[in-house]
Structure 1
Amino acid sequence: MRDKLVEFKNVSFRYGEDEPWVLKNCSFEIYENEAIAIIGHNGSGKSTIAKLMNGLLFPQEGAIVINGRTVTQDSIWEIRKDVGMVFQNPDNQFVGTTVQDDVAFGMENRGIERGEMVKRIDDTLSAVGMQEYRLTEPHKLSGGQKQRVAIAGVLAIFPNVLILDEATAMLDPRGRTDIMKTITRVMAERSLSLITITHDLQEVVQAERVIVMNEGAIWDEAAPREIFEKKAELRQIGLDIPFVAALSDELQKAGVPINHEALNHRELLEELWTSHSSM
């Protein structure tokens, strides 16, 4: 039985008294070492959830509990020790004059011993493929390289919960794959919980559970396969489905005997091989 790390209890939020509600009575739970994807159309409330979880915003209604502590103005600095967040634009997170200084910044604020800091800088920069740039000034890096450094800086503080808010959007497909492999490995090593807010459907299918947002409310919550079976309904709320799932659907319509919905290339090839072998 995994421990509960995050709980939203009937959370509602709006950016001003005269503004519409961005979140409406949202309730969900996230557990230790669980990978969650949050998806939805632009303006559905995804990024607001991330900012509430990290204490950048506070709900007008309801409560948020992180690792047993309710998120308040008084608890926020302790909460942020447990929650690491990487934004879409890495320039918003850089504070150091060199890459290694930037990765060290969060650890310095937490009073981590110097020898341990050096080890974590080496480990995290190696993990994201940026070791050779450790003395480079961040503004001289490409967009993808900056994002790798931002992810390294968050991983170095050893959070219990890692939030990626469109954090791989500036990476090419191979870079996205490499980063997600690194994060998956770190999850296994540290019992880290991952919350991915993304439009990349390949990241979504790798999650254990998907939370679908629509107009500020939770539209559905289930495993990726169950979510993407609702193709027509997803399209009605402005969302797409993975290419392989769409291709699988078209093959079935064309009379190809596929017994199960495929979500990735490997599954589709296995289904095609099985159907061919049985003919």
Structure 2
Amino acid sequence: MRSKLIEFRNVSFRYGEEQPWVLKDCSFEIYENEWVAIIGHNGSGKSTIAKLMNGLLFPQRGEIFIDQKPVTPDTIWEVRKDVGMVFQNPDNQFVGTTVQDDVAFGMENRGFTRTEMLTRLEEVLAAVGMPAYRQTEPHRLSGGQKQRVAIASVLAVSPQVIILDEATAMLDPKGRQRIMQTIKDVQHSKDITLLTITHDLHEIVQADRVIVMNDGQLWDEGLPREVFSKKDGLKEIGLDTPFISSLAEELKLAGISLTQEPLNHEELLEDLWTLHSRT
């Protein structure tokens, strides 16, 4: 039986008494070692969810639990040991003059021994493919490399949950693809719970589950394949479906019925080849 790690219970939030509610009676659960993608258009509430999980904000209504601990001002430092965040702009997270100094910063603050710090430094830089850049100044790195270092800095302190809040939004398509592969590799090798916040449906294919937000409420949740199949509904709430999903819809309209909603080019080609072999 899966263990519940994060729980939102009827959470509502707004940025001021006169402001509209950004989240409205929002409830969901996230489990250990699960990769969940939260998607939605700008203003749907997804980034607010990330800040609430890390105690950067607190709900006006409802309750949030991380590993059975309520997220409150009194528990915030304990919660932050369990939850690490990687933001859209990694420059805002850099504090060290070199890559190794930056990765070591969080470990120093938590009292890690020097031996343990050196071991973890090697391990996390290898995990994100950056061991050759230990002595490099962060501002000399590319956007994708900076995000890798930001992920390594969070990994070094061994959180139970890593939240990536639009972490690939500033990257080109190739950089975005590399970071998503890094995320996948890290999640499998470290047995962590991963939460990716995005408005790009291309990024959710590898997730275990998807939560779709719209206007501060949970619009839908399910497997990526189930979410992609609701093309009309996604378009109505301002989300474009991936090209491969749109292509599958055009094939369907042309009388070519696929056996399942394809998540990538490989699945589509395999399905088409199977249909061709039967004819």
**TM-score of the aligned structures, taking structure 1 as reference length:** 0.96
CA distance in 2, matches of 1:25, 1:108: 39
CA distance in 1, matches of 2:178, 2:69: 33
- Does 199-208 or 39-48 show the bigger shift? 199-208
Aligned to 1:172: 172
- Does 181-190 or 214-223 show the bigger shift? 181-190
CA distance in 2, matches of 1:180, 1:257: 30
- Give the C-alpha shift of residue 3 in structure 1: 0.8
Aligned to 1:116: 116
Q: Conserved in 1, the CA contact under 8 Å of 2:161 and 2:192? A: yes
What is the CA deviation profile of residues 143-183 of structure 1, one whole-angstrom value per residue up to 9, with x for unaligned ones? 22211111110111111111010112233333333333333
Aligned to 1:40: 40
Aligned to 2:20: 20
Aligned to 1:90: 90
CA distance in 1, matches of 2:234, 2:223: 14
3-state DSSP of counterpart to 2:163:
strand
Aligned to 2:217: 217
3-state DSSP of counterpart to 1:108:
helix
Q: Residue 133 in 1 paired to residue 133 in 2?
A: yes
Letter of the 2:240 counterpart: D
Q: Conserved in 2, the CA contact under 8 Å of 1:147 and 1:170? A: no
- Give the C-alpha shift of residue 257 in structure 1: 3.7
CA distance in 2, matches of 1:149, 1:222: 31
CA distance in 1, matches of 2:147, 2:189: 22
The runs of 5 or more residues in structure 1 that have no matched partner are none
Q: Residue 162 in 1 paired to residue 124 in 2?
A: no
CA distance in 1, matches of 2:2, 2:23: 27
The runs of 5 or more residues in structure 2 that have no matched partner are none
Letter of the 1:82 counterpart: D
CA distance in 2, matches of 1:174, 1:181: 11
Q: Conserved in 1, the CA contact under 8 Å of 2:127 and 2:186? A: no
What is the CA deviation profile of residues 117-163 of structure 1, one whole-angstrom value per residue up to 9, with x for unaligned ones? 11111121122222222112212222222111111101111111110
Q: Conserved in 1, the CA contact under 8 Å of 2:85 and 2:165? A: yes
- Distance 1:105-1:254 versus aligned 2 partners, 3 A rule: same
Aligned to 1:5: 5
Q: Residue 142 in 1 paired to residue 154 in 2?
A: no
Percent identity between the aligned chains?
70
Aligned to 2:194: 194
Aligned to 2:256: 256
3-state DSSP of counterpart to 1:274:
helix
CA distance in 1, matches of 2:175, 2:143: 11
Q: Conserved in 1, the CA contact under 8 Å of 2:39 and 2:201? A: no
- Does 75-84 or 258-267 show the bigger shift? 258-267
Letter of the 2:23 counterpart: L
Aligned to 2:235: 235
CA distance in 1, matches of 2:115, 2:170: 32
- Does 224-233 or 36-45 show the bigger shift? 224-233
- Does 81-90 or 176-185 show the bigger shift? 176-185
Q: Conserved in 1, the CA contact under 8 Å of 2:209 and 2:223? A: yes
- Give the C-alpha shift of residue 98 in structure 1: 1.0
